[in-house]
Amino acid sequence: MIIGTIAIVAVMIGIGVIVNRKLAIEPEELAGTRAKPAKVLIAAHEIGEAPATALRASEAQVAKLKPSLPCKTCRSLLEPDGTDEEVRYDGEPMRVLGFRCPHCKTKRALYIRIPRPNARA
């Protein structure tokens, strides 16, 4: 369980590094592809913090991730607040997970794209 959590954190960090590198090297390409106001927000949000930077994760990864998210303010473990919802963004299904810190009451949403079984990565 702990090893799984560490693996997910490592994957998230890895994704963050890849995205940061992409943003640093080819910002014009990102901006040029489908120019939408949401794309501008990429640099301002971490992975999973906004629809445009949604984290790609399987159902199993989401199940492991949910109880292991830290509060950004006080580092306590966040609790799911029961407001999870399915939405569509850019034509793709997306899940928005709602969390709340039991200590400082900070709320956090995590945007997840769950790959369809037949989709190629």
Residue numbers at the binding site for Zn ion (CB under 5 A):
71, 73-74, 76, 101, 103-104, 106
Q: Which residue has the tokens 């199940």?
A: 63
Shortest reach from residue 79's CB to Zn ion, in Å:
10
Longest dimension (CA), the chain: 42
C-alpha span between 84 and 80 (Å, rounded): 8
Nearer to Zn ion, 69 or 101 (CB): 101
DSSP state of 113: E
Nearer to Zn ion, 36 or 107 (CB): 107
C-alpha span between 114 and 26 (Å, rounded): 26
Shortest reach from residue 11's CB to Zn ion, in Å:
24
Shortest reach from residue 101's CB to Zn ion, in Å:
3
C-alpha span between 71 and 55 (Å, rounded): 17
Nearer to Zn ion, 52 or 78 (CB): 78
Nearer to Zn ion, 4 or 98 (CB): 98
Joined together, the tokens standing for residue 47 give: 């992975």
Shortest reach from residue 102's CB to Zn ion, in Å:
8
Nearest Cα neighbor of 56 from 7, 15, 3 is: 15
